[in-house]
Structure 1
Amino acid sequence: MTAPSTHTTKPATGIPALLKTGFINAVIALVLFSLMVGIRTEAGSEGQLTYWTRFGELASLVAAVFGGSIVIELLRQWIGPTGAEKLVPPAVQSGMSFVGRYLAPALLIFTLLVPVIFYNQRYILDLAILVLTYVMLGWGLNVVVGLAGLLDLGYVAFYAVGAYSYALLATNFGWSFWICLPLAGILAAFWGVLLGFPVLRLRGDYLAIVTLAFGEIIRLVLINWQTLTGGPNGVSGIPRPTLFGIPLNNSDEGLAAKLGIEYSPTHRIVFLFYLILALALLTNWVTIRLRRLPIGRAWEALREDEVACRALGINTTTTKLTAFATGAMFGGFAGAFFATRQGFISPESFTFQESALVLAIVVLGGMGSQLGVALAALSMIGGFELFRGLETYRMLVFGWAMVLIMIWRPRGLVGHRAPTVYLKKAQAISSDLVKEGHG
């Protein structure tokens, strides 16, 4: 009888292995990009289908994938599994920690000064409002996905409930934005609880399928209930927000007339910017406070292990329901703001693509990380605008960037899953409580 061998086979690291890896990736790229890039189709003037080939660009992409695969494999072999830290000098590491410590306050100060710096640039102000809207949506979904660990693919449903709640209440009853805003959050939270009950016993892929179906159900209801929601035509004429009853227009009762200053349409944009900033900061503050409460620690325990969470006596039913309700409430607030900013809403604004985008922001930023979600929203929403000039290649470049981030930063830009409450120093146990007779 021979002893088992303890020798482990090392992966091949020679030139043939590198060429094999590059060849396999190049073949996969060729298959994927053949229809996406190699052949372009378009409807002709008489309705016929016309097409043309772009084999040169296809060959360039395949060659780039082949060379990039070899470079990545060489870097992996050079760095090794534990040698990544050696590439960063200690001085650079300390500088990065210093930057990370003051990054959030610096971003907040810069955000407060955005309307002052870019007052005459309407495009940047509108883009900043859009980014802050997705930051708020990301922080709201972060409660469900990042803290409680419940995969929600139908978050856009609560966004739609908040938007339509404000639009219908404001147009039918003439209620102001400040009255409808809390009502929109409450109604969205109510629907979050209704979603939570059917999924109490579900997890993983099954939970994702049910939440995805819930989002589609809400969208189909908005399309088909025409007597209430207007159907595909949506709701128009939604009132604009006021500064506690003072309109921001060019009338004699407007804010500019009361302050004795010259009216400018930018006043309303600046007001909307600070309004969504205040709502986003409120979402951030409430989330941080909830994490330090027992319900927040219950969410984190549910995220790590639901079976152990139940064994510890935590009521998983109320834990899941509160997570869905809290996240839905913030989504309802964001929906109400979206409705008053646009002045018009329709079911086309609340598709699955919105849920996927918000979920991507949470995952790429780092589940459970408030700063990471904000940075991911800035990168993704701003990235779409930055690469707008690339036209057809914009989504391709953006997709490659997401893949690279998931490879090198699998826990997101700011991966953070440390417990909210932990012992700073070890505590000795009384000898009466252990069998060994010592602490």
Structure 2
Amino acid sequence: MAQSLNLSAGFTGLISLAQAGFYGIGAYCAALLSTRYGVSFWLSVPVGMLIGGLIALLISFIALRTVEDYFIICTMGIQVILFSLMNNLSGLTGGPLGISGIPAIRLFGVELDGKVSFLLLSLCFVIVVWFLLRNISRSGFGRILRAIREDEIYTQSIGKNVYQAKVISFTLTAMLATIPGALYAHYITYIDPTTFTMEESIFILSIVIVGGMGSLLGSIGAAAFMILLPEGLRFLGMPHEVAGNLREIIYGLILIIIVMTGRLQGLLLWKRGRINK
């Protein structure tokens, strides 16, 4: 999810808070297709990507008319709408009760219901998405996206179709976000709307920021760090009465230090470059 968001937020500068919504679209597509129609995971993934891409394409015609802070607020509204649809379309999504009984993924007739086998499958998808986004970032289209991030007006002045590039970037981001949704649904075997909230979108955006905007490997490292850090804090041996609150405080302080250190390093490098120049 963090890698997919890096395509729009990191490469293009389109910071989106609707990532969890598209994540949920992938999960519900996989859940509905497998439980109601017996469709396998390998077919539900491309179907989910297609549906997520079509929804993102329609949304982009409106959302990408806005810029910067207004675009962020617009994607926030999109996230709220998608969550509300998942929560209220009871006949389709099961509403607050969700969907249960999602079957395990089968590969060559073997069920991938173990943790190790599912981890290996997930890593394969991570590598494929990383390889795809790395090639995009090194292509001519990727250079256009980075140019838009740095100076949109200049990019438009040299004859590049900025609006079209933004639409493609936002749509591809949504399509890739549906893949982990399908994986999640088949791994947990039960989904409900509470997983696909605004808080999840903010958390994914935090991973991208901590790992470095536009850094695919940074997203992988930051995801591992931000997931494992709270678990590691459980072994500090703090009193049970205050352990929960102290862990949250320490976690927040560590994130603040990381972000501030990164900014300070960037500031020092900038000053050094100015002095050398």
Same fold (TM over 0.5): yes
For 1:246, which of 110, 114, 132 is the aligned residue? 110
1:317 to 144, 163, 176: 163
Q: How many angstroms does 1:398 deviate by? A: 1.2
Paired AA for residue 248 in structure 2: M
Equivalent positions of 1:15-414 (< 5 A) are: 137-247=1-111, 268-388=114-234, 390-410=243-263
Shift of 1:412: 9.1
388-397 or 226-235, larger mean C-alpha shift: 388-397
Give me the whole-angstrom Cα distance separating, in 1, the residues matched to 2:178 and 2:55. 10
8 A contact 1:158–1:332 mirrored in 2? yes
CA–CA distance in 1 between the matches of 2:108 and 2:173?
27
Distance 1:160 1:412, change over 3 A: farther
Instruction: Give the root-mean-square deviation of aligned CA atoms.
Output: 1.6
Distance 1:310 1:411, change over 3 A: farther
Shift of 1:169: 0.9
Q: Which runs of 5+ in 2 are unaligned?
A: 236-242, 267-277
Amino acid at match of 1:194: L
CA deviation string 1:280-325 (max 9, x = no partner): 1111000001112221111111111111111111111210111111
Maintained 8 Å contact 1:144/1:150:
yes
Residue 245 of structure 1, CA deviation:
3.2
Look up the equivalent residue of 1:350 and give its one-letter code.
F
Following the alignment from structure 1 to structure 2, what is the Cα–Cα distance between the partners of residues 301 and 175?
A: 42
Higher relative contact order (CA 8 A, sep 6+): 2
**Percent identity of equivalent pairs:** 34
> 1:411, CA displacement in angstroms?
8.4
What amino acid sits opposite 1:141 in the alignment? L
Say if 1:199 and 1:207, in contact at 8 Å, map to a contact too: yes
Partner Cα separation in structure 2 for residue 160 and residue 357 of structure 1: 15
Q: Distance in 1 between matches of 2:265 and 2:177?
A: 22
The residue matched to 1:198 in structure 2 has which SS?
Answer: helix
Cα distance between partner residues in 1 of 2:234 and 2:161: 48
Could you say what secondary structure the match of 2:13 adopts? Answer: coil
Give the equivalent residue in structure 2 for 1:41: none
| Structure 1 residues 411 and 304: alpha-carbon distance in aligned structure 2, compared to 1, 3 A threshold | farther
Q: Deviations over 1:387-435 (max 9, x none)?
A: 135311111111111111222112899xxxxxxxxxxxxxxxxxxxxxx
TM-score (ref. length: structure 1): 0.57
Counterpart residue identity of residue 314, structure 1 = K
Asked if structure 2 preserves the Cα contact closer than 8 Å seen for 1:166 and 1:336, the reply is: yes
Could you say if the C-alpha distance between residues 304 and 151 of structure 1 is closer, same or farther in structure 2, counting changes exceeding 3 Å?
A: same
The 3-state SS of whatever aligns with 1:201 is coil
Offset, 1:200: 2.0
**Letter of the structure 2 residue corresponding to residue 156 of structure 1:** A
Cα distance per residue 1:368-405 (max 9 Å; x no partner) = 11121111111110011111353111111111111112
2:184 maps to amino acid:
F
Gaps of 5+ in 1: 1-136, 249-266, 414-439
Larger relative helix fraction: 2
Q: Residue deviations 1:163-218, cap 9 Å, x none? A: 00111111111111111111112212222212211122211111110001101100
Counterpart AA for 2:251: F
TM-score calculated relative to the size of structure 2? 0.90
CA distance in 2, matches of 1:318, 1:411: 35
Amino acid at match of 2:260: I
